[in-house]
Amino acid sequence: MKFALIGLEGVAGNMVRRLRQQDVEVVGCDENGERSQQLADETGLIATSSVVAALRKLPGDSPKIVWLMLPDNAAVDKEIKNLVNRLAFGDIVVDGSHSNYRDSQRRGALLSQSGIGFVDAGIMDGGNGLEKGFCITLGGERDQVKIVEPLMQALAADGGSGWSRVGAVGAGHFARMVHSGIEWSVRQAFSEGFELMKGKTGFSFDLEQVAQTWSKGAMLDGAVLSDEVAILRAESSGGAQLPNFDELRWSAIEAIDQNIPTPAISAALQCVAGSRDN
């Protein structure tokens, strides 16, 4: 199978590495030409200088698949508008960017007017996607998801089973958004626990040491705790930076729209937003 991947930064780079380990042909394009060339030298990625050049490398006798992994909403919108004029009936766009599900629904409707399929992919890697595989939730029509299924099986964790179609267009990003809201709630609980230890006089807790110990088999062990260890280590050197929390905010807004109480997610948003302002 051969497809185009537009945007090669971060998680996308490890997607390329995992796909190439399974001999999937990837035509890559990135604004950073050096990044494209590095991946080409490392993995055998077919590096191109533009989206137009990438499309020319795809086979003409089957639906073209173009997967977007772009950094922000404006970049995704710009590329979708370009692709409407460059793809043909039956081709498919997959968006694995951190997009709001409402934007995915809008983009899917726009592409469908030209007979172009759209699949939104909520991609989660647990910090170890290259070695263990990714968790992927998809939104889209069943026949279109069927076409991209080999890519999902090659990328997914648990022997290729760590993916699923969870609903119509927008559902993949919605599921990822909810996952992110839950994840941030867990982060907030960790933060509160660490504050309790930090504030307790007489013990002088080394928070990084405690977190590392917990990560060796306690009930709380997991990717979020591992991430917290890294954040605590960075805090001690003055370089801590929390991940983007857009999806946490979107989850809280969705809860308001549905009139569903989500106190843990709402509290996490208030605390995170407050800490960013300080």
Residues 35 and 151 occupy one common structural domain: yes
User: Do residues 126 and 203 share a domain?
Assistant: no
Last residue of a domain, one of 148, 167, 186: 167
Whether residue 183 sits in one domain with residue 153: no
Is 187 a member of any domain? yes
Q: What is the CATH number of the domain that holds 213?
A: 1.10.1040.10
**CATH number of 28's domain:** 3.40.50.720
- Tokens representing 234 are 């960075």
Closest CA to 71 of 5, 9, 134: 9
CB count within 10 Å of CB 227 equals 17
> Would you place residue 276 in the very low, low, confident or very high pLDDT band (cuts 50, 70, 90)?
low
Say if residue 120 is in the same domain as residue 208.
no
121 backbone dihedrals φ, ψ, rounded to 5° = -120, 115
Residue where a domain terminates, one of 167, 197, 217: 167
Domain count, the chain: 2
127 shares its domain with 13: yes
> What is the mean pLDDT of the segment spanning 37-58?
96
Residue 255 lies in a domain: yes
pLDDT band at 38 (very low <50, low <70, confident <90, very high): very high
On whether the CB atoms of residues 247 and 237 are closer than 8 A, the answer is no
User: In terms of domains, do 13 and 151 share one?
Assistant: yes
Structure tokens at 165: 């179609």
Measured from the Cβ of residue 218, the count of other Cβ atoms closer than 10 Å reads 11
pLDDT tens track for 195-253: 999 999 999 999 999 999 998 988 887 888 888 888 888 877 665 566 788 999 999 99
**Is 138 found in the same domain as 94?**
yes
Let me know if residue 226 belongs to a domain.
yes
Considering the chain, what is the average pLDDT of its residues?
93
- pTM here is 0.92
Cα gap 182→28, rounded to integer Å: 33
49 in a domain, yes or no? yes
Residue that is written with structure tokens 């399929």 in the block: 117
Domain check: are 25 and 72 in the same one? Answer: yes
Whether 278 shows a pLDDT value over 80: the answer reads no
Q: Is residue 172 part of a domain?
A: no
In the listed set 141, 167, 193, which residue is the last one of a domain according to the structure? 167
Please report whether residue 76 resides in a domain. yes
In terms of domains, do 41 and 132 share one?
yes
Give the C-alpha distances (Å, rounded to integers) separating 269 from 103, 138, 181, 182, 240: 21, 26, 9, 11, 18
Nearest to 140 by CA among 125, 127, 128, 151: 151
Tokens of 70: 């772009």
- Please check whether residues 64 and 103 belong to one and the same domain: yes
Identify the CA nearest to 194 among candidates 211, 174, 175, 182.
211
Statement to judge: residues 228 and 105 lie in one domain = no
- Same domain, yes or no, for 186 and 125? no
- Residue-wise pLDDT for 115-141, tens only, equals 999 999 999 987 788 999 999 999 999
Domain that holds residue 138: 2-167
